[in-house]
Every structure is written in C-alpha cells, then in structure tokens.
C-alpha cells in the first residue's frame, strides 16, 4: 500500500462513520467482555437493525478505562474528529454498566432525540439510562492525556481500516518514504522517551546501539562463550538483527499492555515496524503471555490484515524495506519478562536469565543484535513520529517525558486504566481520579513484586522514574494497587515474596534459596513468633538478594519487604515476640528449636 | 581464550595485564590471586550461578561474578573485603540450608569442594534454618549413584555431559527451590538411554551428589584435572 | 540443515498430531521451535505426555532431558491430563486485596478439590493464576476460558454446579 491508497481507505472509512447520525462504540476489551459487553453489543445491533431510520453505526471498540463499571458504551455524534488532533468528538456520552435490556431504550432515545443525550428529567424509559451516564468532566476522564490509549473509543481492534481511519500506519509510511533511519532514531532520542517496561532506559539510546551493532559473525571470540545454550544449529539462516516486543506482562495487578494489545494491536505492530526500519532489522517477534488469549487472537488477525495490505512483509508500502513479525507464546513464567530470559524462551530453552553484559542490543537472539522494547514503549512511537519529538517532550517532567498508562486497582471507587502525563502527583491519581477516600487510604503499591509501597503521607510526590525510585519503589510497568487501612503490610510483603519464591528460576543461589528464607522469616514474624534478631536477619538477606542475585527479578525481589520496613517498620516491630511481652526470654541463642546446625563432622 | 586486545587492570591493587576476552577470574588466577568459586570449572562454559566468586568493581552498583565478567581497561577490582566475605558466607549458608549436607555420613567427606569452601569461608554453623527437603536417591545405575540431598545445582554435570561428552543425559527440571537434576525424561539414571556411562559427571561434581559405587570413603577422590586435559586435547585435535 | 527426520512413534498416524507437526515444520525443525511445538501438543491433547516428548525430541533432534526441563520450567504446561472443566482463580495482587484467597478456599471446600488438583471423577480442575489481567474486575475467576469478573462466592458456586459432567460445549451430547 502506498500513502495515497492509505489516504483513500482512511477517507472512505471516515466518510462511512460520518454518514451515521450516531456512532455507538461498545467496549470489547477483556474487562468489559467479562461482564457481558458482547451481549450488549448484540442487543444494540439487533435493536438498530429493527430501526434503520435511526441511522446508527455500531462497532466493537477498545477500552475506555473505567473497567470496574463495565460494560461501557460510548455514543458519539457530529463529525469524526481529525486524526491525531487529540480532540474528542463534538458530542460524546459514555454509559456504564449497560445490560442488553438497556438497548431498546438507548436506540429509541437516539432515534427521537437526534443528538441530545438522555437527561435525568427525561421520560421513564430513559431515566434508568440517564442514571448510567458517566460524567465525562469528572477528574477520572478530564485529567487524562492520551497518547498510547488515544482514539481507543474509535478503533475497532479487529479491523485495520478502523485503525487507518484513526491515522494509523501514516507514521510508518512517512518513515519509509521520507526519513532516513538515523533521523528516526534522532527523533526518538530528542523526544526523551524512556522504556515503559519498568527500567526507564532511554529508548533512543537503545535503538542507536542496535543500529550501530555490526552484523552477527558466528562464533566470534567473546560471543561464543556467552551463548552456551544456543548452538550454531539453532540459529535460523538469514536475518541478522531482530526487534522483539516484550508483551510478557507478568506483574500481578498490571494490565495496561494487555489492553493495548487487545484494543490497538496495529499500533504496536506499527511501532515495531518503525523500530525495525530504524535499527536495520527485518524480523520481529511478539512475545505474549499465553494467559492473554484474546490479545493473541487479535494480534494474529492484525498481522494477517497488515500483511494483506502490504504494511508488513516484503517491500512495505512500496519501499525496499522488509519486515516479518511472528508471535511467540509465553508459557507461564514471570521471569521471562527479563530480557535475557525472554531470549532464552524464544530460543526454545528454559527461561533462565544470563549475566549481562553482553546486552541483547549487541548480543541478543541467537547471538544477533536485538532490540527489545515493551508494548507501551512501542505504542508511543507512531505518535512521536506523527507529531514530533518536541510535542512529546513538552509532556511530562524534565527527566520523564510523555505520559504513562497506569492500571488502577484495589480499594478505590474507579478502578481501570488511565493515561496521565508524567509528573502528576499520586494524590491526584488516587484521590481525585480514583475517587479514593482521603484518610481511608493507607498506601499505594507500584511496580508489582519488584516495587514498593508508598505511604499516604508521601502522596504529594510526582509520578516519575526518579521520584518513585527515591522512595524505594519503581515505576515498573504501571500497576497501582491502592490499599486501605485494612491492609497489613507484613502480609503484603509476604504476598509478594511468595510470588517471587514461586517465580524464581532457580539458576542463582541467592534468589533460589534466599527468597524462601525471607518468606519463612516473614511468615514467622506474621505469626507473632519473630524476634529482633529475625528482623536483622531479614534485612541482611534482603540486601544479599539485592546485591548478589543474577537478574532483575532477584535483585528487586526484596523491594516490597525493604519498602514496607522503611515506612511501616512499626507494624513489623509490633509483631515481634519481644514486643508483645509474651516471652522475653525466647530469643536468639537460647531458642532450642532454632539452634545453630552443625555442618562439619 | 585469547586474541583480543591487551589491556591493563588492577586487582587488589596489583597491576595486571590481560586479554579482553579473558574473565576476571582467569586473570586473577594467572596472577596468583585467589577468588573462591563453586559452579565454575575450567573447561566448561561459565554460568555465573553460584555467586560465590562475586568481586567488587569500582563504579559498578553491585558486586560482579568474576567467572563471567570480562576485564576492561583501567578497571579496579577488589576480591576480598569484609563485606564480600560476609556475603559469600551467607550465600554458602543458603546452599547448605537448601539441601541435606551431613558431612559425617557423606561419601566424599574430606574430598568435598563444598566442605572445603565452608572451611575457607569460616562457615562452621548455620544462622538460618535448614529446610530439610525430602529428596530422592537414585541408585539405579550399575556403576554410579546420585544423591540429590547433596546437590547444590551447580550444573557442572549438565554442562560436562552436554558440552564435552555430547550425551546431554542430564538437565535441570522445575524451577526455584523445586529445581532438580534429572536424567532423560526424569527416569531412573540406570534406564536413561542417552547415558554413555563415561563418568565425567561424577568426576566434576563438587559434592557427594554424584559418586562411584563400591568405593570406600577414603578412595572417593575426584579427578578434577581430567577435564582441562580433555578440553585441551580436544582443542588441539580440532586445530590440526 | 540436515533433512528433517520424521517422528518415530505412531503419532504421525494420529490426526491430532498434525498441528504439532505443522508447528515444528513452520520453525524449520529447529530447536528454537520447541516451545511452539509443546504449545501445539497441549492444545491438541490437553497435556504433554512422554510419547509426545519423545516424538518431539526425535523430530527436533533434542535431548530428552532438555525437553523435560523445558516442560517443567513453564507452569503453563501440564504432564497430566486436566479435568473436563477448569476453574482458575486469579491470585494477582488486585484480586488478593479483594479476597481471592478466601474465594479459593471456599471453592476448594465446596468442590472437594485442592488447588492445582483435579476432582476424583475428573470433572473439574481447580487452578490458580498469578494474574489474568482483569484487575479492574477483581476478584476474577476464569471458568472454562470465560472470565467472570467481580466474582461472588454464590455466583461461582452456582456456575460450577451447573457445569455438566462432560467437557465444555458438549451440552448437546448429554441426554
């Protein structure tokens, strides 16, 4: 497909959309599907078919964020907004918790009322509908700035035309026809985009390392000794550089990558293709969790559609650029989110990390230079190309540019997905957007099992990579679990350590055994049997994990413990034997059951 | 390994010349500087798994394993500090607590690398609770035995079997604390079709996990020099 | 590349083996296709048995211990058949905060099956997941691949009681 063709298809699609008096979009992401949005979509379609004069256009669309109130349905009227303008439709109404029974009222109403929404004062059938209308001026919606989630309410995830109408693939064709790879990397570098998978590594720097890396020379010196597992026979012939999209979102409590994959698979594919062109790769893998069947299904569909339209495959967009993408399924191992473990898994091996350096950018898949970016990172790429680095860099803070998608969950009213500019305070997210009760919230956990808990007293902090790290937590992939006064922090730490014990790959000794020993201590303290010496031992082991583990999983496994120790140490101390007055004598050396064990003959 | 650029670095304050393709461990050994190791064995690919050989490198945020880290120009390495010693001791304690290591009844008592390491690092008791796992002993092989209670998962047996003998009878199953050494499809060693009974795994095992049957404890000395010799001969053969 | 050897067992005659063969062929019978092949086996048979591992080992020229090591590393793969129905309770953070552990205990008690196990009659497997990504709908339970959000004990109980004794989607075959 050349740029003119793309324009034509997009224009046709837009015209078809604009011809309808009202556009009804029903969320078909897994959150809303799990509470029956498929049935709602069917009911509305049936109702609309019975009343063709209503002139409605009904689509399954992407996630609209307020997942706890699903199924969500968006009704828009007036002309379709210009692509990438950031502006919404002229009039838009969002309905929450719709049921199939609401369909007749909705359609009847839209037919009569032209473009006005049902109001509370309206007639009897509409009043129940009116109660289900969301206030789009509420902070939950108003505070959001959408780049990654942009136009989700307008994009049918299963039709490439719908993505094209939303300005899709324009950036890719622009790159292929008008920009040199080095210019693209420069654009990304200037935008200040950082890796959204957790680490926050500058994306432009990573791209340029891969771009500069030479073609792979088999069995050259250092490389051969580092790839003990992959032999020459494993390596496919041909491609010498790879782009990998890390879609192994494993943090419990994080689901933004899932949403992006389910709602805009083409946005990720476009980002991958641009990245591949920029670094000189012609083959890509999407490594997706097997636990996300819907995302996998839509990705497969998207790849087929893009290949058919000549936007993936050979001679993309009439240029000389070839790029082929394949999906690789994860198989239930959290550690495979770590990039070297992910590589091992794609190579068909046990997903165990290897020491870095060498970094995948220079020595990756089958020894070839490999670019690994997370889903959200790649979903930012097309927007940066379309609107320029300066626009992107104007969002966010000095060191953390752009926006971040967070998955809000836990003890707040509005749970779901939000996208906010970096630098917004935790207070704004939790209390204003999430409608969390001020005073009732104790802490927010960010970064999953690698992150930490930030107490309510620190909610004034801006959300950016550095601030969160200074608090002993991490940005992570973007899970935010809000905890109320009922949450016992020792138990929260125990929960995450149990996760790490389960997910430790077993390669290095500190993580394999250390996590279990930490868990035992947390359980002991939790039962009220711990001593002050145990607390000391706990900290010592946590530091050992941080300092000596082989990969990021082990190195950060202690973060939930250390951060709760830092801010909620009293909760630990209150549980100690010495502090409850139960038995002050039982400690350290005199304890019969925990005496030192002889190992020597 | 050689053939790279020649660089200089400092180990424990001493200036050392090195090839950039060497590891810090190799350079240290060449210069008579001792770094304790466990999973490392000359002649096998290093994995950096046991973390005993961690050394401090100026400017690095955390200690690095000497067996897989390559030297760089001007690098300053410290191999022995109270901090490092404490960490090594704790790692060793973790390993001892993981399995069932009772030296008094072990076949390699007195010839055991794990035992020797404990002596070197001064680990004479455990501060952390032993886990006392229930692990199986496999005595199905006519000549050798496997006692998983004494295994520290260094994977030397896996590597020597795959890389040198080429049989790949051994591998690791499961993950985390449940990881264990298996032969073929987790079947008794004696029934593993791929095993050539070459015995290399027994010779490289640092503990009494893999042992020869029918030998008295005093005779259970492992031939650790066997492997470097074998790999050297193989290399010479390849280069001819 | 050496020419690809054919599977040694009679799996070649088994219709269900075809997608596995296809998965291996798609990856050029290279070792890198191992996990893809294992996914195909599990999709076709519901679990991965010894014969399948041997056949894959022969086709991809991989050591058996390596295949066994890979299968047991990934929690998604099963060495034993699962029940005709599955109930997966998500134990992700959001679900845990909203009481997923209590929900799991209740289901386990009512269905008389411990987590990770299958009922004696092979009707139901009770499994847990580390996060199914439906955190906005916590607590989440997945019954036969259908996510049930904001799961309540009584509703789950009703749904599990309603599962027929055959497999999912086979209502018609029941008398």
Region of residue A157 (left: phi > 0; alpha: psi -120 to 50; beta: else): alpha
Indicate whether B183 belongs to any domain. Answer: yes
Whether the ω angle into residue A357 lies within 30 degrees of 0, i.e. cis, is yes
Mean pLDDT of A487-496: 93
Helices (H) and strands (E) in chain B, counts: 6, 11
A293 touches chain C (CB under 8 A): yes
Same domain, A316 and A381: yes
pLDDT higher than 50, residue A227: no
pLDDT higher than 80, residue A85: no
pLDDT of residue A214: 75
Indicate whether A246 belongs to any domain. Answer: yes
Contact B163, B155 (CB under 8 A): no
Return the minimum-mean-pLDDT range out of A279-288, A503-512, B16-25, C97-106.
Answer: C97-106
B94 touches chain A (CB under 8 A): yes
Query: Which residues 6+ apart lie within 8 Å of A445 measured at CB?
Result: A253, A410, A451, A452, A453, A454, A473, A479, A480, A481, A482, A483, A492, A560, C93
Indicate whether A358 belongs to any domain. Answer: yes
C162 touches chain B (CB under 8 A): no
Q: Which of C94, C104, C145, C149 best probes binding to A when mutated, by most A CB atoms within 10 angstroms?
A: C94
B167 touches chain C (CB under 8 A): yes
Mean pLDDT of C137-158: 86
A555 touches chain B (CB under 8 A): yes
Indicate whether B64 belongs to any domain. Answer: yes
Does A509 contact B47 at a Cβ distance shorter than 8 Å? Answer: no
Separation between Cα atoms, residue A302 and residue A273, nearest integer Å: 13
pLDDT of residue C147: 84
pLDDT of residue B232: 82
Same domain, A355 and A443: no
Same domain, B99 and B165: yes
Q: Identify the domain boundary among B80, B95, B110.
A: B80
Same domain, B101 and B70: no
Task: State which of A110-119, B224-233, C3-12 shows the largest mean pLDDT.
Answer: B224-233
Does B182 contact C50 at a Cβ distance shorter than 8 Å? Answer: no
pLDDT of residue A176: 96
Same domain, A196 and A340: yes
Considering only the beta carbons, identify the residue of B65, B68, B176 that sits closest to A504.
B176
Does B175 contact A517 at a Cβ distance shorter than 8 Å? Answer: no
B97 touches chain A (CB under 8 A): yes
Domain that residue A455 falls in: 403-485
Q: How many domains does chain B have?
A: 2
Considering only the beta carbons, identify the residue of A355, A537, A601 that sits closest to B127.
A537
Q: Which two tokens stand for residue A313?
A: 């495959």
Domain that residue B115 falls in: 85-239
What CATH number corresponds to the domain at position A34? 3.40.30.10
Indicate whether A226 belongs to any domain. Answer: no
Q: Identify the domain boundary among A429, A455, A485.
A: A485
pLDDT of residue B113: 95
Same domain, B45 and B107: no
What CATH number corresponds to the domain at position B127? 3.30.70.20
Does A415 contact C77 at a Cβ distance shorter than 8 Å? Answer: no
List the single residue in A with minimal CA-CA distance to C42.
A331
Same domain, B207 and B235: yes
A250 touches chain C (CB under 8 A): yes
Same domain, A500 and A478: no
Separation between Cα atoms, residue B10 and residue B21, nearest integer Å: 16
Q: What is the biggest distance separating any 2 CA atoms in chain B, rounded to whole angstroms?
A: 54
What CATH number corresponds to the domain at position A408? 3.10.20.600
Same domain, A79 and A58: yes
pLDDT higher than 80, residue A212: yes
pLDDT higher than 70, residue A87: no
Same domain, A316 and A246: yes
Does C72 contact B194 at a Cβ distance shorter than 8 Å? Answer: no
pLDDT in tens, A154-207: 999 999 999 999 999 999 999 999 999 999 999 999 999 999 988 899 999 999
Q: Identify the domain boundary among A339, A374, A394.
A: A394
Mean pLDDT of C84-111: 89
Same domain, B128 and B22: no
Indicate whether B196 belongs to any domain. Answer: yes
Pairing of strands A597-598, A479-484: unpaired
Same domain, A355 and A464: no
Q: Which of C77, C133, C134, C143 best probes binding to A when mutated, by most A CB atoms within 10 angstroms?
A: C133
pLDDT of residue A54: 84
pLDDT in tens, B147-204: 999 999 999 999 999 999 999 999 999 999 999 999 999 999 999 999 999 999 999 9
Same domain, B134 and B107: yes
C53 touches chain B (CB under 8 A): yes
**Window 168-227 of B, Cβ < 8 Å to C:** 168-175, 182-186, 192, 194
Same domain, B32 and B126: no
Average pLDDT of the residues of chain A: 87
CB pairs under 8 A between B and C: 43
Mean pLDDT of B14-43: 95
Band (pLDDT 50/70/90 cuts) for residue C131 is: confident
Considering only the beta carbons, identify the residue of B126, B127, B176 that sits closest to A512.
B176
Same domain, A45 and A188: no
B180 touches chain A (CB under 8 A): no
Mean pLDDT of B121-134: 94
Residue entry with tokens 């409590």: A253
pLDDT higher than 50, residue C1: no
Indicate whether B42 belongs to any domain. Answer: yes
Pairing of strands B76-78, B6-11: parallel
Same domain, A183 and A314: yes
Query: Which residues 6+ apart lie within 8 Å of A191 measured at CB?
Result: A204, A384, A389, A392, A393, A401, A402
Pairing of strands B125-126, C85-90: unpaired
Q: How many domains does chain A have?
A: 4
What CATH number corresponds to the domain at position A185? 3.40.50.11540
Indicate whether A186 belongs to any domain. Answer: yes
Indicate whether B127 belongs to any domain. Answer: yes
Q: Which of C64, C66, C73 best probes binding to B when mutated, by most B CB atoms within 10 angstroms?
A: C64
List the single residue in A with minimal CA-CA distance to C143.
A34
Whether the ω angle into residue A477 lies within 30 degrees of 0, i.e. cis, is no
Helices (H) and strands (E) in chain A, counts: 25, 14
The 10 Å Cβ neighbour count of residue A81 is 18
Same domain, B53 and B13: yes
List the single residue in B with minimal CA-CA distance to C50.
B185
Indicate whether A3 belongs to any domain. Answer: no
CB pairs under 8 A between A and B: 132
Same domain, A276 and A175: yes
Q: Which residues share a beta bridge with A510?
A: none
Q: Identify the domain boundary among B80, B108, B139.
A: B80
Q: For the purposes of burial, counting CB atoms within 10 Å of the CB of B102, is it exposed (0-12), middle (13-18) or buried (19 or more)? A: middle
Query: Which residues 6+ apart lie within 8 Å of B236 measured at CB?
Result: none
Same domain, B94 and B70: no
Average pLDDT of the residues of chain C: 84
pLDDT higher than 60, residue A84: no
pLDDT in tens, A138-161: 999 999 999 999 999 999 999 999
pLDDT of residue A237: 58
User: C95-107: buried (b, 16+ CB within 10 Å) or exposed (e) per residue?
Assistant: bbbbebeebbebb
Indicate whether A518 belongs to any domain. Answer: yes
pLDDT higher than 80, residue B239: no
pLDDT higher than 50, residue A596: no
Indicate whether A310 belongs to any domain. Answer: yes
Indicate whether A213 belongs to any domain. Answer: yes
Same domain, B116 and B205: yes
Same domain, B107 and B189: yes
List the single residue in B with minimal CA-CA distance to A231.
B163
Residue entry with tokens 């497969």: A300
pLDDT of residue C55: 94
Q: How far is CA B147 from the centre of its chain?
A: 17
Separation between Cα atoms, residue B223 and residue C153, nearest integer Å: 62
Same domain, A178 and A320: yes
pLDDT of residue C168: 52
List the single residue in B with minimal CA-CA distance to A501.
B176
pLDDT of residue C5: 43
CA angle A401, A402, A408 (to 5 degrees): 115
Contact C53, C67 (CB under 8 A): yes
Runs of H (alpha helix) within A441-528: 465-470, 489-503, 509-526
Band (pLDDT 50/70/90 cuts) for residue B228 is: confident
Q: For residue A249, what is the enclosing H or E element?
A: none
Q: Which residues share a beta bridge with C88?
A: C127, C142
Q: Identify the domain boundary among A394, A413, A447.
A: A394
A241 touches chain C (CB under 8 A): no
pLDDT higher than 90, residue A223: no
Same domain, A452 and A467: yes
Indicate whether B1 belongs to any domain. Answer: no
- The nearest CA of chain A is from the CA of C50 a distance in Å of 18
Band (pLDDT 50/70/90 cuts) for residue B66 is: very high
Q: Identify the domain boundary among B14, B46, B80.
A: B80
Runs of H (alpha helix) within chain C: 18-26, 34-45, 50-60, 64-73, 93-97, 100-111, 153-162
pLDDT higher than 90, residue A86: no
Average pLDDT of the residues of chain B: 93
Same domain, B39 and B155: no
Considering only the beta carbons, identify the residue of C50, C54, C68 that sits closest to B173.
C68
Mean pLDDT of A540-564: 95
Separation between Cα atoms, residue C149 and residue A392, nearest integer Å: 36
B63 touches chain A (CB under 8 A): yes
Separation between Cα atoms, residue C53 and residue C156, nearest integer Å: 36
Band (pLDDT 50/70/90 cuts) for residue A83 is: low
List the single residue in C with minimal CA-CA distance to B180.
C69
């Amino acid at each position: 497909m050349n740029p003119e063709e793309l324009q034509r298809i997009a224009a046709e699609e837009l015209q078809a959309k604009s011809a309808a008096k009202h556009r009804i979009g029903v969320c078909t992401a897994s959150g809303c599907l799990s509470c029956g949005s498929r049935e709602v979509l069917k009911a509305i379609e049936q109702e609309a078919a019975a009343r063709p004069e209503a002139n409605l256009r009904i689509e399954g669309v992407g996630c609209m964020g307020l997942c706890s109130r699903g199924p969500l349905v968006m009704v828009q009227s007036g002309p379709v907004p210009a692509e990438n303008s950031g502006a919404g439709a002229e009039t838009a109404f969002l309905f929450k918790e719709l049921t199939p029974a609401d369909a007749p009222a909705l359609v009847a109403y839209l037919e009569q009322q032209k473009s006005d929404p049902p109001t509370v004062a309206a007639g009897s059938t509409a009043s129940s509908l009116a109660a289900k209308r969301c206030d789009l001026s509420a902070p939950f919606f108003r505070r959001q700035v959408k780049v990654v989630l942009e136009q989700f309410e307008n994009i049918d995830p299963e039709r490439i035309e719908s993505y094209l109408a939303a300005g899709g693939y324009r950036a890719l064709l622009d790159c292929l026809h008008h920009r040199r790879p080095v210019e693209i990397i420069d654009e990304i570098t200037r935008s200040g985009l950082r890796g959204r998978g957790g680490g926050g590594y500058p994306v432009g720097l990573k791209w340029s390392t891969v771009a500069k890396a030479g073609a792979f020379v088999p069995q050259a010196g250092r490389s051969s000794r580092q790839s003990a597992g992959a032999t020459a026979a494993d390596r496919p012939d041909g491609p010498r550089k790879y782009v990998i999209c890390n879609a192994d979102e494993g943090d419990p409590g994080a689901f933004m990558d899932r949403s992006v994959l389910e709602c805009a698979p083409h946005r990720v594919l476009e980002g991958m293709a641009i990245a591949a062109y920029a670094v000189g790769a012609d083959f890509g893998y999407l490594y997706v969790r097997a636990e996300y069947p819907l995302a996998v299904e839509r990705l497969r569909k998207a790849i087929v559609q893009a290949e058919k339209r000549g936007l993936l495959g050979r001679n993309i967009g009439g240029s000389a650029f070839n790029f082929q993408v394949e999906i690789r399924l994860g198989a239930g191992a959290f550690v495979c989110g770590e990039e070297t473990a992910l590589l091992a898994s794609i190579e068909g091996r046990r997903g165990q990390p290897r020491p870095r350096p060498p970094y995948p950018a220079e020595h990756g898949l089958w020894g070839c230079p490999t670019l690994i970016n997370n889903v959200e990172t790649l979903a930012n790429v097309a927007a940066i190309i379309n609107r320029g680095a300066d626009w992107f860099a104007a969002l966010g803070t000095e060191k953390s540019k752009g926006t971040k998608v967070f998955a809000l969950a836990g003890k707040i009213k509005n749970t779901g997905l939000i996208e906010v500019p970096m630098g917004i305070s935790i207070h704004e997210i939790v209390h204003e957007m999430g409608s969390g009760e001020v005073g009732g919230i104790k802490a927010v956990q960010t970064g999953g099992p690698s992150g930490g808990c930030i107490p309510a007293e620190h909610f004034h902090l801006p959300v950016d990579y550095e601030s969160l790290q200074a608090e002993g937590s991490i940005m992570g992939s973007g899970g935010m679990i809000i905890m109320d006064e009922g949450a016992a922090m020792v138990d929260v730490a125990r929960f995450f350590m149990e996760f790490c014990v389960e997910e430790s790959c077993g390669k290095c000794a500190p993580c394999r055994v250390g996590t279990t020993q930490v868990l035992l201590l947390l359980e002991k303290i939790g039962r009220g049997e711990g001593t002050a010496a145990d607390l000391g031992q706990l900290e010592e082991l946590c530091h050992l994990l941080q300092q000596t583990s082989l990969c990021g999983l082990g190195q950060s496994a202690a973060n939930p413990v250390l951060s709760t120790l830092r801010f909620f140490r009293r909760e630990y101390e209150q549980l100690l034997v010495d502090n409850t007055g139960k038995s002050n004598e039982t400690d350290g050396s005199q304890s019969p059951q925990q005496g030192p064990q002889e190992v020597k003959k | 390994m050689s053939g790279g650029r020649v660089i200089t670095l400092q180990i424990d304050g001493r200036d050392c010349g090195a090839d950039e393709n060497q590891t810090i461990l190799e350079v240290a050994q060449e210069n008579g500087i001792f770094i304790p190791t466990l999973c490392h064995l000359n002649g096998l690919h290093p994995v950096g798994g046991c973390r005993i050989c961690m050394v401090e490198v100026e400017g690095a945020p955390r200690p690095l394993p000497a067996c897989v880290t390559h030297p760089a120009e001007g690098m300053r390495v410290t191999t022995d500090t109270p901090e490092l010693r404490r960490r090594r001791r704790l790692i060793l304690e973790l390993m001892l607590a993981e399995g069932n290591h009772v030296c008094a009844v072990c076949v390699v008592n007195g010839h055991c690398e794990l035992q020797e390491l404990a002596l070197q690092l001064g680990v004479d008791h455990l501060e952390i609770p032993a886990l006392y796992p229930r692990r199986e002993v496999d005595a199905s092989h006519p000549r050798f035995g496997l006692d998983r209670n004494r295994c520290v998962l260094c994977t030397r047996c896996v590597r020597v079997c795959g890389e040198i003998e080429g049989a790949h009878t051994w591998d690791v199953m499961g993950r985390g604390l449940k990881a264990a050494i298996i032969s073929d499809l987790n079947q008794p060693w004696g029934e593993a079709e791929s095993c050539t009974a070459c015995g290399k795994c027994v010779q490289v095992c640092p503990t009494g996990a893999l042992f020869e049957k029918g030998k008295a404890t005093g005779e259970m000395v492992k031939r650790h020099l066997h492997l470097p010799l074998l790999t050297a001969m193989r290399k010479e053969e390849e280069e001819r | 590349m050496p020419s690809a050897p054919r599977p040694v067992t009679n799996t070649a005659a088994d219709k269900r083996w075809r997608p596995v063969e296809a998965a291996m062929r798609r990856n050029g019978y290279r070792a890198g296709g191992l996990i893809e092949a294992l996914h195909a086996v599990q999709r076709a048979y519901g679990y991965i048995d010894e014969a399948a591992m041997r056949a894959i080992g022969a086709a991809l020229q991989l050591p058996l211990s390596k295949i066994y090591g890979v299968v047991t590393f990934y929690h998604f793969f099963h060495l034993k058949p699962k029940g005709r129905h599955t109930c997966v309770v998500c134990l992700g953070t959001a679900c845990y905060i909203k009481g997923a552990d209590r929900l799991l205990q209740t289901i386990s008690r009512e269905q008389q099956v411990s987590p990770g196990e299958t009922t004696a009659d092979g009707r139901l497997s009770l499994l847990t997941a580390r996060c199914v990504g439906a955190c906005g709908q916590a607590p989440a339970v997945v019954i036969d691949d259908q996510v049930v959000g904001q799961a309540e004990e009584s509703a789950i109980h009703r749904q599990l009681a309603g599962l027929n004794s055959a497999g999912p989607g086979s209502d018609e075959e029941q008398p």
